[in-house]
Amino acid sequence: MKAIAGGILNNFEGLFVLFTLVVIGVILYFIDQKLSFLNFFFLPVLIAGYFMNTRSALLGALLSIAWVTFFIVLDPLSFSQEMSGMGIYMHILIWGCFLILTGVMVGKLNEQLHARYQKACQSLDQLNDLQKLLSDSNKRLEEKQTALEVTKERVKSVLYATMDPYVAKLIIDRRLRDEKRPLTVLFADLADFTKMTEDRPPESVIEDLNALFSAMDPILARFKGHLDKFLGDGLMAEFGTPYAARNHPLLAVLAALRMQARVGNRQFPFKMRIGIASGPALIGLLGSENRKNYTAVGDTVNLAARLQALCPVGGVCVNEETYASIRRWFHIRQIRSGLSHEEVRNLEARLEFLADAVEHAPTAKLCLEAANVCSELGDMHRALRYHRQAMELDPSQRQPIERAVAAALLTGEDRRFVTVKGKKERVAAYEVIALKDPLQDRVGLPAGAIELYNRFSTEVGLPLESVMSIEALEGTLGHSQVTAALSAATADAMGLDERQVRAAFMAGYFHDLGKRNVPEHLLQCEDQLQRLPLPDQTLIKAHVREAEKVLAELQIPTGTEVIEAIQQHHERFDGSGYPQGLKDGQICLLARVLHIADAYESLTSWRPHQEAWTPAAALADIERSVREGLFDPRIGEVFLNVMKEVR
């Protein structure tokens, strides 16, 4: 039975065609009008051609013709239908030809379809093989990519441990180039290091050095300095490369002062000297084929190192170019040749006393003494001025004064310059004493505003370095302090409670922190905002929202009231501000206070693109802006009343 069933399954199509022929033949036997049913024979031929092949279809057609011919011979009258005997045979002949043609065509079509199907199956198999190969290749590529990423991360970790991470990234991305450019170089060295450490265990010395350098590194990074290398008990850093910064002398000096302050505050067993020089230098990857370092070389580098050696312990010394860039923000004294630092300090203190005395009660004796002190300091222009004033006060002293002037001209001028090893000509060198207090140094601040600042600054933790680094990039040192003082004074004059006055102070101090995320080249373009391309305008306007992120990163608790004031402080009362175009009461109260305080400070302070306005001119402009609807008129009136004493 199984053999029979298997045979039937294997020959099912042929048996089905044979069965169909038999059935049609049986039906044809019992029907009288056999000619009308001849088309039924197309069915087995079509089935044979579709399911089998051309040969089977042809055999099926011949078998059908033979089958019909058999019936014609058996019963010709059943095929007559008003036809002659020859007509019947012609009809059958034509029918048989069509039947054969149908079988052949269908068989050929089936064979072509089958061939195409086989070809498609082969192509599909080939595609599957290719897909498998591609999948294997992708897998190998992914494994190689993963291994490459692991290697890259290892290289990064090694590079980051041995050089500035930013420089390492530039090296990996192949964006570091050798060039000559203006920059500022800082050298720091520990004073009397050998003497201090010769009797100490080496482990203790190394531990202290590592702690010291760990404290210095974040300061350099915060002020955009590139830590070039550690030099035993010292370090070398560059500002202005690879981080682009136009105010690199200012950033370097601020970093140096913060480094000296950190050494003092942490009670390290060391004292430090720092030398800074600005000027052109060659910068790039220098070294052997096996080991290179991103560093600077040139006269500027050598000068910074020599200034460090001349610097008093705990001091910061700068060259002429650095001094010219930073003098408006710092108390600075010139280093005099042939005089110790203590002698210079004493002479300058004496000169300050004499200058004050001459201003209030001038006498020839005081003028001559002041002139002599100026001559000792090498300040010949000032010495000649005092000599001239002394002759005007006492003409009888003309000859002694002329002799003193001649002697001063021969010897005094040289003291303004110091000898530096490796330099043919003597150079001017300056010691940076301290950063000026913007509240005391600024003309046009009411006493009440200064008092409020002093009170709140002791209560609120102020991130001085973070704020100073942003203001240094923009060239607006002291902006946050003055704005905070004016905001607090205005809020206090409006009768706001202690919490709101403190919030106004904090908003004023932190309002520009978001500029940390603005490209440095756009920081000085805020006043020309409408002239910039739209993408640059968008970047600048985004700083009001970025402030919240920066405050969160610095972990400074402020509250929603302060955040809202910062985000809206560029909105204008008439709706022409940004970022949302709010107007009138839609702008929160503290933002309206901050807006007017920020505007006044911006007008009365020096900026890289403008000179400082006088308080009277700035207040007149504020008053005009109030009338034009830029500021809240109620707050504008209070602010102008607060500022009455400085008009």
Question: Which CATH number do you get for residue 485?
Answer: 1.10.3210.10
Reduced to 3 states, what is the DSSP secondary structure of residue 509?
Answer: helix
Omega into 242 within 30° of 0, i.e. cis?
A: yes
What does the block give as tokens for 290?
């096996």
- Under 8 Å between Cβ of 598 and 607: no
Closest to 641 measured CA to CA, from 480, 489, 443: 489
| Residue 418 DSSP symbol | B
Cα(207)–Cα(441) distance, integer angstroms: 41
For residues 604 and 484, membership in a common domain is answered with: yes
Q: What pLDDT is attached to residue 406?
A: 74
The residue whose two tokens read 């010495």 is 383
pLDDT digits (tens, 9 = 90+) for 591-627: 999 999 999 998 998 887 788 888 889 999 999 999 9
What does the block give as tokens for 354?
């004499």
Closest to 184 measured CA to CA, from 260, 275, 314: 275
| Residue 427 DSSP symbol | B
Phi (first) and psi of residue 279, to 5 degrees:
160, 180
Report CA-CA distances (Å) from 575 to 493, 495, 544, 632: 25, 26, 17, 11
The tally of domains found in the chain comes to: 4
Q: Cα torsion for 143, 145, 150, 152, to the nearest 10°?
A: 160
Element (H, E) at 275: strand 272-287
Closest to 91 measured CA to CA, from 70, 72, 67: 72
Which distant-in-sequence residues (6+ apart) come within 8 Å of 322 by Cβ?
A: 184, 249, 252, 253, 276, 277, 278, 430
What does the block give as tokens for 106?
């269908």
For residues 480 and 628, membership in a common domain is answered with: yes
Q: What pLDDT is attached to residue 92?
A: 65
Which distant-in-sequence residues (6+ apart) come within 8 Å of 228 by Cβ?
A: 235, 236, 237, 238, 293, 294, 295, 296
CATH code of residue 411: 1.25.40
In a domain, 247, yes or no: yes
Q: What pLDDT is attached to residue 45?
A: 66
User: Can you say how many angstroms the Cα of residue 117 is from the centroid of all Cα atoms in its chain?
Assistant: 60
In a domain, 434, yes or no: no
Side chain identity at residue 364, one-letter code: A
Q: Of 315, 334, 353, at which residue does a domain stop?
A: 334
- Under 8 Å between Cβ of 57 and 49: yes
**Whole-structure pTM value:** 0.73
Domain limits for position 413:
341-417
In a domain, 80, yes or no: yes
For residues 407 and 444, membership in a common domain is answered with: no
For residues 288 and 350, membership in a common domain is answered with: no
Side chain identity at residue 397, one-letter code: Q
In a domain, 146, yes or no: no
The long-range contacts involving 621-630, CB below 8 angstroms and separated by at least 24 positions, are 622/596, 625/599, 628/574, 629/572, 629/573, 629/574, 630/572, 630/573, 630/574, 630/576
Q: What pLDDT is attached to residue 631?
A: 92
In a domain, 160, yes or no: no
Low-confidence stretches of the chain (pLDDT < 70) are: 1-21, 23-57, 60, 72, 75-110, 156, 158-163, 408-415, 422, 524-530, 646-647
In a domain, 142, yes or no: no
For residues 588 and 554, membership in a common domain is answered with: yes
Q: What pLDDT is attached to residue 563?
A: 92
Q: Are strands 272-287 and 316-319 parallel, antiparallel or unpaired?
A: parallel
For residues 281 and 185, membership in a common domain is answered with: yes
Q: What pLDDT is attached to residue 321?
A: 95
Alpha-helix residue ranges (DSSP H) falling in 554-611: 560-568, 589-604
For residues 317 and 404, membership in a common domain is answered with: no
Omega into 633 within 30° of 0, i.e. cis?
A: no
In a domain, 153, yes or no: no
pLDDT digits (tens, 9 = 90+) for 133-190: 888 888 888 888 888 888 877 776 766 666 677 777 777 777 778 889 999 999 999 9
For residues 590 and 451, membership in a common domain is answered with: yes
Cα(523)–Cα(131) distance, integer angstroms: 54
Q: What pLDDT is attached to residue 118?
A: 84
In a domain, 171, yes or no: no
Q: Of 417, 448, 477, at which residue does a domain stop?
A: 417
What does the block give as tokens for 474?
């923009």
- Under 8 Å between Cβ of 256 and 241: no
For residues 323 and 367, membership in a common domain is answered with: no
Q: What pLDDT is attached to residue 543?
A: 85
For residues 361 and 327, membership in a common domain is answered with: no
Q: Of 383, 417, 451, at which residue does a domain stop?
A: 417
Residues found in the chain: 647
Q: What angle do CA 409, 412, 413 make, to 5 degrees?
A: 80
Based on its alpha-carbon atoms, the radius of gyration of the chain, rounded to whole angstroms, reads 48
Q: Is the dihedral of CA 351, 357, 359, 362 positive or negative?
A: negative
For residues 225 and 82, membership in a common domain is answered with: no
Three-class SS of 212-257: HHHHHHHHHHHCCEEEEEEECCEEEEEECCCCCCCCHHHHHHHHHH
Name 323's bridge partners: none
Q: Where are the beta strands (DSSP E) in 407-509?
A: 429-435
For residues 240 and 385, membership in a common domain is answered with: no
